């Protein structure tokens, strides 16, 4: 038998994935050491230092990874639903009895140890999603099954948002990529993208501009699906011009423009009646879909003010407005990102060297060992270090996708893609916020940021995928 001389724990294990994991974790330890080391700060190996605490957690993560590899892969399929229920209960318990940290009531504290349940809820949600979508009768095109998938994702998301940990909750949105991989109709992704886009641009554009852009987007999308470009463009021009005329009339007869949005919405919906009638007569389902999306977007737009002012906290509002360039607060909401960009830019090509980063050493960058650990990479190791770390992370994510593609069972494939999607989202958002391309969300960089619960959770998340892949490879080797 091939591999009979190999220890059972490593039989079939993707060693490249394990080596990539080990290299990233080791690099993370160096970066945390650089970010938290203080000359004359006490005994070098004291557990009062963040890097020594992280060393302990790395040891614990290694033990946990070994246990995950030793367990039979069938357990992960069997325990998917119990783990999901347990994850939901932990989230509710944190909401009710947890400790508030940085405005989010999402932590348990046991002495000097803190644990964030949301990190483990991601694992449970990924397992439950893989279990639901791997059922024999499941079809992603069936509305009832799609509703079940949405419920699995949205239940923990709602609790996390209530904890005021919106950044961690948004991570669950990365599962949309998994659904797309499994055959979700690409046009069903439009509402999600439309909602996100409308929420952002509603702060930048006037109601009339938003209205016309929505008409353009929906009409051209419908034309793209049906191939009726000429008639759709003519319709689009007529509606856009009528909306402009309506706005002028409303501005003349309504002091201060009161009721402008409602007037625009009412008349535009009336102008769509002809299109709806035509769609019904011609049985154009795509046209009806676009009309529904347009109406939904027009209904959603007035709620953005409520969401922004009543649901989001002040620091979250400031971060969004700062990211969009609407406000400028160099000593407040912009401070972290500005200092982060200075630190990364000052590293140059080769960096300043280990423990030589001045922005990091003198504390100009807040949270430099957790959410902004990437600044340490940029300042001390420069472009070379940044490129190396991003390459290692990309290789690990691509390795997970490859592991997913060689799975013989849907459960393993879907779970591997869930892990890849979560890691990709974390990397994009964390790196993006440190260089000013994304708003600050408080999302750690996988395997690199300081944090015990984060490291252990990411380790479990990854090594379950490695174990499922090892089972498939063992079967292939034995056949």
**pLDDT bracket for residue 3 (50, 70, 90):** very low
* Residues 6+ away with beta carbon under 8 Å from 66: 9
Q: How many CB atoms lie within 10 A of CB 66?
A: 11
pLDDT in tens, 20-60: 999 999 999 999 988 887 765 566 777 777 888 899 999 99
Going from the C-alpha of 405 to that of each of 2, 21, 181, 414, 471, the distances in angstroms are 22, 20, 11, 9, 14
pLDDT in tens, 406-461: 888 899 999 999 999 999 999 998 998 888 777 777 788 999 999 888 999 999 99
Say yes or no to pLDDT of 167 above 60. yes
SS3 content of the chain, % helix, strand, coil (to 5): 70, 5, 25
Going from the C-alpha of 349 to that of each of 24, 379, 383, 385, 386, the distances in angstroms are 21, 10, 5, 9, 9
Look at residue 466 in the predicted model and tell me its pLDDT. Answer: 94
Say yes or no to pLDDT of 163 above 90. no
Q: What is the mean pLDDT of residues 158-184?
A: 85
Q: What is the mean pLDDT of residues 230-259?
A: 51
**pLDDT bracket for residue 328 (50, 70, 90):** low
Q: What is the mean pLDDT of residues 227-255?
A: 52
Q: Show the tokens assigned to 295.
A: 């109406």
Torsion angle of the four alpha carbons 317, 323, 325, 326, in this order, in degrees rounded to the nearest 10? -10
Q: What is the mean pLDDT of residues 303-330?
A: 68
Say yes or no to pLDDT of 228 above 80. no
Q: How many CB atoms lie within 10 A of CB 289?
A: 19
Q: Show the tokens assigned to 413.
A: 């494939």
For the chain, what percent of residues have pLDDT higher than 70? 65
Question: 316 with 252: CB under 8 angstroms?
Answer: no
Look at residue 124 in the predicted model and tell me its pLDDT. Answer: 95
Average model confidence (pLDDT) for the chain?
Answer: 77
pLDDT in tens, 256-311: 444 445 445 544 554 555 455 455 444 455 555 555 656 665 666 666 666 666 66
Look at residue 473 in the predicted model and tell me its pLDDT. Answer: 73
Question: 172 with 84: CB under 8 angstroms?
Answer: no
More confident: 285 or 381? 381
Say yes or no to pLDDT of 193 above 50. yes
Look at residue 5 in the predicted model and tell me its pLDDT. Answer: 42
Look at residue 343 in the predicted model and tell me its pLDDT. Answer: 85
* Residue from 202, 212, 203 nearest 247 by CA: 212
Report the predicted TM-score, pTM, of the whole model to 2 decimal places.
0.79
pLDDT in tens, 102-140: 777 888 887 777 888 999 999 999 999 999 999 888 888
Q: Look at the block and give the residue holding tokens 């879907």.
A: 414
Look at residue 97 in the predicted model and tell me its pLDDT. Answer: 86
Look at residue 215 in the predicted model and tell me its pLDDT. Answer: 62
Question: 337 with 433: CB under 8 angstroms?
Answer: yes
Q: How far apart are CA 421 and CA 49, in angstroms?
A: 33
Look at residue 4 in the predicted model and tell me its pLDDT. Answer: 40
Look at residue 6 in the predicted model and tell me its pLDDT. Answer: 44
Give the lowest-confidence range in 148-157, 170-179, 190-199, 370-379: 190-199
Give the lowest-confidence range in 12-26, 158-172, 199-213, 316-330: 199-213
């Amino acid at each position: 038998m091939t591999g009979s001389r190999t220890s059972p724990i490593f039989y079939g294990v993707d060693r490249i994935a394990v080596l990539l994991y080990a290299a990233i974790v080791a690099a993370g330890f160096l970066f945390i050491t650089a970010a938290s080391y203080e000359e004359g700060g006490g005994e070098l190996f004291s557990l009062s230092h963040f890097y020594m605490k992280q060393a302990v957690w790395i040891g614990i993560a290694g033990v946990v990874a070994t246990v995950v590899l030793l367990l039979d892969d069938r357990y992960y399929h069997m325990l998917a639903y119990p783990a999901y229920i347990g994850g939901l209960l932990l989230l509710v318990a944190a909401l009710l009895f947890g400790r508030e940290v940085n405005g989010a009531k999402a932590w348990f504290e046991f002495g000097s140890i803190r644990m964030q349940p949301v990190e483990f809820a991601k694992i449970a949600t990924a397992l439950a999603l893989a279990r639901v979508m791997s059922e024999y009768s499941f079809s992603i095109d069936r509305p009832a099954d799609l509703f079940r998938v949405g419920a699995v994702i949205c239940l923990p998301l709602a609790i996390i948002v209530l904890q005021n940990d919106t950044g961690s909750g948004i991570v669950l949105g990365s599962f949309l990529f998994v659904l797309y991989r499994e055959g979700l109709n690409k046009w069903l992704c439009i509402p999600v993208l439309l909602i996100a886009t409308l929420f952002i641009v509603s702060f930048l554009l006037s109601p009339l501009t938003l209205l016309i852009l929505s008409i353009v987007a929906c009409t051209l999308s419908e034309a793209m699906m049906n191939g009726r470009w000429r008639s759709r463009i003519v319709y689009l021009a007529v509606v856009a011009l009528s909306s402009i005329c309506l706005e002028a009339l409303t501005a003349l007869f309504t002091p201060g423009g009161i009721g402008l949005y409602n007037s625009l919405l009412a008349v535009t919906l009336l102008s769509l009646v002809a299109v709806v009638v035509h769609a019904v007569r011609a049985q154009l389902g795509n046209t009806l879909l676009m009309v529904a999306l347009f109406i939904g977007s027009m209904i959603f737009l007035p709620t953005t003010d409520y969401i922004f002012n009543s649901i989001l906290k002040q620091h979250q509002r400031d971060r969004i407005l700062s990211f969009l360039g609407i406000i400028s607060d160099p000593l407040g909401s912009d401070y972290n990102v500005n200092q982060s960009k200075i630190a990364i830019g000052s590293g140059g090509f080769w960096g300043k060297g280990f423990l030589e980063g001045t922005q990091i050493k003198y504390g100009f960058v807040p949270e430099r060992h957790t959410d902004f650990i990437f600044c340490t990479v940029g300042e001390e190791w420069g472009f070379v270090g940044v490129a190396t770390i991003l390459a290692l992370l990309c290789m690990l994510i691509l390795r997970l996708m490859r592991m997913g593609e060689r799975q013989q069972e849907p459960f393993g494939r879907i779970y591997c893609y869930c892990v890849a999607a979560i890691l990709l989202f974390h990397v994009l958002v964390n790196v993006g916020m440190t260089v000013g391309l994304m708003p600050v969300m408080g999302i750690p960089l996988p395997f690199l940021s300081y944090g015990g619960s984060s490291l252990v959770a990411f380790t479990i998340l990854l090594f379950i995928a490695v174990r499922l892949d090892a089972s498939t490879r063992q079967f292939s080797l034995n056949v």
